[in-house]
Structure 1
């Protein structure tokens, strides 16, 4: 009978495949419909430029390859097992996220924060060794979720009329910078986390440099600040 660690390793690998396959079961999702909000969110400044979402292809592929490597080579490793447990929860929620997002931005925001918090737990528990297959793909995933979770709050704040679009964008892009800097600094490794947050912030700059320059300056400044702990993580 397979051990508990073997079952969790297999589950993590299968969930990574299901997570990557989930877009194929939700046709035509290209972000929230502006009319899903009481105040329609046409071209919201808090949202990064569309090209930035291509990072999902790398995230999906790297998680599958990394967790597949771990299933074959580190099934019984204690650190891998500790990482896999919260990561399984994050990926399980992630497989449902697109289907929920089509129906409710509010619930989608709740779920993406669950995905983020469990992904961060997995990242801090990730093995110190085997970084290419464990901490680095999980770091890229958690870093992108850090930005995306803040974007979701910015959309809700503006979409439900609590803040205007620019104020909401400034507040929650600022939150993404704070979270990104704190996590990368505290972690001290897995620089892919910082790379993903910087990638998102640069895409916010691209989205807003002509239309909302103040937001572009804040996002660009935040990206520059995050370069410091990210480079330190590379050196470590």
Structure 2
């Protein structure tokens, strides 16, 4: 194994610090719109219960552990080499999204979140190809935290797209578009989850879909049950990955 590039490690660390600090600063200093205010402009098509966003606490904890680990590990590993730079893009995108939403740059939020999700998934797929059996420490402190992030960004991308399209008046807040959004999450999440064989990627998508179920029970019960059904299918896929002992 070669030496770990210090510059890359510092870039990862800086991205994590920014991703955690920017929302804290934006909230405490009341800069622009909050994430909730931004979403309320177009969440009539598909909503996620507010409690579901508490998953960011777990994601931030995992990212902090990853940042410290990759900065202090002495040697390069195939897993770290595969995901490090993609993780810089994806994690920095989390902070950039907060700023874009605060200043109500709706189309920019879509570009940021979709790019972040796609780049992170690509990095994880490369890691799986380069290091199909990583050491447990690399799983615990690299693969699993980044898989949680990629999974949440996947479902958040779909919700963000529907929110912006609704806010722009391009689509109406009806069941058809809600169903399309849920189907897209199921299709993309299912295919990526199957490729990665990762329950940690699927878990936040399932969590988010159940958040849709809770939020839409009263206003769109059909959409709520579609989300619950999609969550169940992905949970079965996650259980299959667990039985096979995959990440």
The correspondence for 1:203, drawn from 211, 221, 224, is 211
The one-character-per-residue Cα deviations of 1:86-112 (angstroms, maximum 9, x if unpaired) are: 111112222221111122111111111
Cα distance 1:61–1:181, how it changes in 2: closer, same or farther (>3 A)?
Answer: same
1:183 to 181, 188, 192: 192
Structure 1's unaligned 5+ residue stretches are none
Q: Tell me, which stretches of 5 or more residues in structure 2 are unaligned?
A: none
Structural mapping, 1:12-161, within 5 Å = 12-27=12-27, 28=30, 29-33=34-38, 40-41=41-42, 44-73=44-73, 75-103=75-103, 104-126=105-127, 128-129=134-135, 130-161=138-169
Question: What CA distance in whole angstroms lies between the structure 2 residues aligned with 1:229 and 1:74?
Answer: 36
If the length of structure 2 is used for normalisation, what is the TM-score? 0.85
TM-score w.r.t. the length of structure 1 is 0.89
Q: Which runs of 4+ in 1 moved over 4 A?
A: none
Is it true that 1:221 corresponds to 2:222 in the alignment? no
CA RMSD of aligned residues (A): 1.9
Change (3 A) 1:233 1:34: closer
**2:182 paired with 1:173:** yes
**1:140-196: CA deviation from partner (whole Å, max 9, x where unpaired):** 10000000000011112222222221232221122111111111111113x111000
1:227 deviates by: 1.0
Query: CA, structure 1 residues 168+18, in 2 after alignment: closer, same or farther (shift >3 Å)?
Result: same
Please give the alpha-carbon distance, in whole angstroms, between the structure 1 residues aligned to 2:7 and 2:150: 24
Matched residue count? 228
Conservation of the 8 A alpha-carbon contact between 1:62 and 1:137: yes
